[in-house]
Structure 1
Amino acid sequence: MKKSIKFAIWGNTEKPKFWETLPGILDWAKKHELKPYLTTRISKQFKHEDLPIIESADSFIDMDFILTLGGDGTILSAARAVAHRNIPILGIHLGDLGFMANVTLSDLYNRLDQVVEGKYTVSDHMVLNAEISANGKTIKSQVLNDVVVNNGKTHRMVTCMLEANNRFIGKYKADGIIVATPTGSTAYSLSAGGPIVEPSVRSFIITPICPHSLTSRPLVVPDSSEIKITFPKEPFEQIGVTLDGQIFHHFDHNAAIIVRKANYMIKFIDFADCSYYATLRNKMGWGKRGEA
C-alpha cells in the first residue's frame, strides 16, 4: 500500500465504544502521518476542524481502505456505500456476535500497523442484485448478506413460487424465503436451518423459513443462477422484502423478485494468521462441551 494512506472511518454511532475508540484511532493516524476521513454522521457529533469529511459515496474512490467500527450491520451499511468502488473494508468488532467484523479492540492497533506495512490480504465477497417489480415499477438494490421474503406486516404464511434459470424449483408455503450469499449463510439463513457455506464458494443458498412441510429443505445453487420468486394470487396476500436486514419494502401479490449475482465483489482486508474456520469455532463454540 502506498505511503500516503487515506482511510475513511465508518462507525455505529449508537455504541458508546465507538466514541471511546475514535480518539485513539485519530492519534494513531496522526502518529503514522495518515489522513483519516469521517462520514457526515460522525462529523456532526464529533467536532474536529482538522478532519476532512466524506461528502458523498463517490468520495470513497480516493480512499485506500474503510475502517468500520461496530458489528456486521455496520459492515453491511458500509458495503452498500462502497458498492462497486473496489475499496477494501477492515471491520473492527465492538460487541455482539459477528462473523464479518473479526478484528477485536484488543488487537486493533496491531492490525492497523499491519495494514500500513502492507502485511495483509484482500478477499472477495459475492454481492447479490435484487430486482423487485410490482405495479409497473422496479426497485433495484444490492445486498451482501441476503434477500428475505415474507408476508409483510402480517403473521400469515406466504406462498412462493421459485424458479432457477426459468426452471421451476417448487412451491413453498412458509413464513418466508431467504436467498443468501455465502457471506450471509451465517446470518438469518443459519438461524432458519440453512448450511454454513465458506465465502469463496460461488453459490446462493435458498432457505425456507418455518415451511409448512417436513420435506422442504434448504437448497444450494450455483452463482450463475437467476432466481425468480413470484406469488400466486391469494386473498389478503401481502409481500414484504427485507434487504440485508436494513432496507424494507412492501408489495401486493403481483410482485416478482429476481435475484442474481452482481458484477462486482465487496473486498475485505484479511490477515495471514486469521482463519474463517477459527472464526466459526470461536463464535459458535465448536468443540466445547460445557466448559466455562
Structure 2
Amino acid sequence: MAANAAENGVPEITKTEEGNPIEYDARSVNSSDQERQDALEVVFESEAIHRRKSSLIPSTAPRPDYIRRPTQCFVHSLLEKHEGMQLKEHTASHEGLAMERKMDKDNGFVEPTHQSRLLTKKQISDMAFGIRELAKKLAQIRLKLHVRNIFILAKAHDETLISHTRETAEWLMTKDSGYRVYVENTLGHNKIFDAEGLLNQNPSFRGRLKFWTNKLCAEKPQTFDIVLGLGGDGTVLYASWLFQRVVPPVLAFSLGSLGFLTKFDYELYPTTLSRAFEEGITVSLRLRFEATIMRSQKKSNTKRDLVEELIGEESEDNHTHRLDGTHNILNEVVVDRGPNPTMSSIELFGDDEHFTTVQADGVCVSTPTGSTAYNLAAGGSLCHPDNPVILVTAICAHTLSFRPIILPDTIVLRAGVPYDARTSSWASFDGRERVELRPGDYVTISASRFPFPSVLPLDRRSKDWIDSISRTLQWNSRQRQKSFKEWS
C-alpha cells in the first residue's frame, strides 16, 4: 500500500445499507500521529503449549503487565480503533508466561518494534489478526489515490522491456503534467531508453522524469504512490526485495512467462492505468515473511546443543547467537544442502517446541503466495493467498513419511543446523541473498508486519487466483468424459 495513505489518515471503512462497497479518498481525512499509531489489541485465551524438553520449567519471575506497543505498520492506520481491556493481575501460569516472552534471541542491538521475531506470542497474534481483518476490508473497497509519483520497474538489461519502459513513461508524462515518473537510474545513459532524446522531444518533461536507486527505495518508500511492474513474477518479487518495509501498491503488467502475480495485459496499459487512476484500485494484501539470520557465537565450552540453546535451559541466554541480517520475503525461505554432496541435517522449531530433525536436500518454508513456486515443485499444496498460513515442505526428504505440513501464521519457526552436523547448509530468500549456515546457525521465520499490496483487476477480483492457476498450470485440465449412448 502507498505509505501516503497512512500519512494522511483514512476514515472508518463501512458499507451502504444495501451492502455495497463504498469508495473513499485516501487523502480526504487527516488524523493525528497518535491515532495513526493505535494498534489493534485483542485478548486471547491461553492455549496449552506442549514441550518435548523435560528440562523446561515455568519461570518464578512475576508475570509482567502487558504494555501496548504502538506499531509502525501502515496497515494498522486503516483499522478502526479498538480499545483493549487490560487483564487484572492473577497467578502466573506456564502458558501465560509463554505468551509474554519474546519468541527469539534478543542480543540487544535491535528494537523489538522493528522485528516480528522479537514480539511476544500475544503481540504476533494481535498483529496477524489485525492484518487479516484489514485484508478483508480492503477486498470490499476501492482506493482512490492522488497519484503523482509513479515508479516503473522493469529489467534494465532487456531491450524489449526498456522500450516498454520508455513508452509507458512518455505516455504518463504526456497524459498529466502533474505526474512525476521514476525509472531505474541505469537507464539515464541507456541508448535504447534515450533519456536525453525524450527530454528534448518535450521540454515539459524536464524535472518530471526522475531516476530511482536502491537506496531511495529503502530509505524513502513513501515517495512513490504506485509501482508499475513490467515483466513476469520475478519482477514482482524484485519489487518486494526493493521495498523491504513499506510497499506502495504494485500494479503488475504481464510480460513474462507464467504470470501468477502479473494480473494485467500490457497491450491495454492506457485503459488500465486511466481506469486505475480515475476510478480507483482494489488491493489484495499478500502475507510476507520476516526471515532473520542468527549466527552462533563462539563459547568456551566445546559441547553445545542447538535444541538446548533455543528451547532448553540456555534459551534465555541472549549471548549464544547474534543477528546477521533480516529479509522480508514474498515467496519462500529455503534452507538446503547447497554445493555439499551429502544431505542436510536441519533442526526445525515452532515457538517453544522442537518439531523434528529434517534429513533431506533441504526444507522450503513458503507463504501462501509462494505455494505455486518452489513449494509446488517440491510436492507442497496449492494454497489460496488469503489463507493465513505457513507451508513447510521437505525437499527430497530421506524418509517417505515426511509429508508437507501447513501451520498458522502466528507461529515463529526456526530452522537451524545442529552443532554435530556433517556439513553446513545454505539459506536463500526469494532466491536471493544466498548465505551459508554453519553448524549452530539458524534462521528465524515469522509473519512480517509489512504485507505486500497487489493491485487486482476490478472486474474479476473474486476469481482471480483460480483463473491464474487454471491459466498457468492447466489445473485439473482434461478432456471431458464422454456420456453413454444408451442402446435401445
Deviations 1:114-144 (CA, angstroms, capped at 9, x unpaired) = 2122342011011111111124342221111
Which of 158, 175, 178 aligns to 2:361? It is 175
1:78-97 aligned within 5 A: 78-97=239-258
**Partner residue of 1:283?**
472
- AA aligned opposite 2:166: P
**Partner residue of 1:261?**
447
Query: 2:268 & 2:341 partners in 1: Cα distance?
Result: 44
* Inter-CA distance 19–39: structure 2 relative to 1 (3 Å threshold): closer
**Partner residue of 1:23?**
166
Which of 173, 177, 181 aligns to 1:36? It is 181
- Check if 1:48 corresponds to 2:195: yes
Query: 1:74 & 1:121 partners in 2: Cα distance?
Result: 20
* Inter-CA distance 290–44: structure 2 relative to 1 (3 Å threshold): farther
Q: Secondary structure at the match of 1:196?
A: coil
- AA aligned opposite 1:37: Y
Query: 1:267 & 1:3 partners in 2: Cα distance?
Result: 17
**Partner residue of 1:8?**
151
Deviations 1:72-96 (CA, angstroms, capped at 9, x unpaired) = 1211121122232241111122121
Higher strand share: 1
- Check if 1:271 corresponds to 2:457: yes
Query: 1:153 & 1:44 partners in 2: Cα distance?
Result: 38
Query: Which shifted more, 183-192 or 163-172?
Result: 163-172
TM-score, with normalisation over the residues of structure 1? 0.92
Which of 278, 287, 304 aligns to 1:117? It is 278
Larger RCO (CA under 8 A, 6+ residues apart):
1
Query: 2:189 & 2:479 partners in 1: Cα distance?
Result: 46
Query: 1:118 & 1:83 partners in 2: Cα distance?
Result: 29
User: Could you tell me whether the CA contact under 8 Å between 1:128 and 1:260 is conserved in 2?
Assistant: yes
**Partner residue of 1:105?**
266
Deviations 1:156-192 (CA, angstroms, capped at 9, x unpaired) = 2111111111112212111100111111111100100
Deviation for aligned residue 1:289:
2.8
Query: Which shifted more, 232-241 or 176-185?
Result: 232-241
User: Could you tell me whether the CA contact under 8 Å between 1:7 and 1:63 is conserved in 2?
Assistant: yes
* Number of residue pairs aligned between Structure 1 and Structure 2: 291
* Inter-CA distance 66–165: structure 2 relative to 1 (3 Å threshold): same
Q: Which runs of 4+ in 1 moved over 6 A?
A: none
Query: Which shifted more, 169-178 or 154-163?
Result: 154-163
Deviation for aligned residue 1:290:
7.0
1:122-201 aligned within 5 A: 122-136=283-297, 137-138=322-323, 139-201=325-387
User: Could you tell me whether the CA contact under 8 Å between 1:146 and 1:244 is conserved in 2?
Assistant: yes
Deviations 1:186-215 (CA, angstroms, capped at 9, x unpaired) = 110010011111111111100100101111
Query: 2:147 & 2:346 partners in 1: Cα distance?
Result: 52
Identical positions, percent: 24
**Partner residue of 2:203?**
none
Q: Secondary structure at the match of 2:449?
A: strand
Listed as ranges, the gaps of 5+ residues in structure 1 are none
Query: 1:40 & 1:107 partners in 2: Cα distance?
Result: 26
User: Could you tell me whether the CA contact under 8 Å between 1:161 and 1:232 is conserved in 2?
Assistant: yes
Q: Secondary structure at the match of 2:431?
A: coil
Query: 2:241 & 2:401 partners in 1: Cα distance?
Result: 36
Listed as ranges, the gaps of 5+ residues in structure 2 are 1-143, 197-205, 298-321, 481-488
Deviation for aligned residue 1:2:
4.4
User: Could you tell me whether the CA contact under 8 Å between 2:147 and 2:226 is conserved in 1?
Assistant: no
- AA aligned opposite 1:229: A
TM-score, with normalisation over the residues of structure 2? 0.57
* Inter-CA distance 65–235: structure 2 relative to 1 (3 Å threshold): closer
Deviation for aligned residue 1:64:
1.2
RMSD: 2.0
Query: 1:277 & 1:191 partners in 2: Cα distance?
Result: 18
Query: 1:133 & 1:237 partners in 2: Cα distance?
Result: 17
User: Could you tell me whether the CA contact under 8 Å between 1:40 and 1:54 is conserved in 2?
Assistant: yes
User: Could you tell me whether the CA contact under 8 Å between 2:332 and 2:367 is conserved in 1?
Assistant: yes
Query: 1:81 & 1:250 partners in 2: Cα distance?
Result: 22
- AA aligned opposite 1:283: T
- Rg larger for: 2
* Inter-CA distance 194–2: structure 2 relative to 1 (3 Å threshold): closer
Which of 216, 219, 233 aligns to 1:72? It is 233
User: Could you tell me whether the CA contact under 8 Å between 2:289 and 2:328 is conserved in 1?
Assistant: yes
Which of 372, 389, 393 aligns to 1:203? It is 389
- AA aligned opposite 1:115: A
Q: Secondary structure at the match of 2:451?
A: strand
* Inter-CA distance 248–44: structure 2 relative to 1 (3 Å threshold): farther
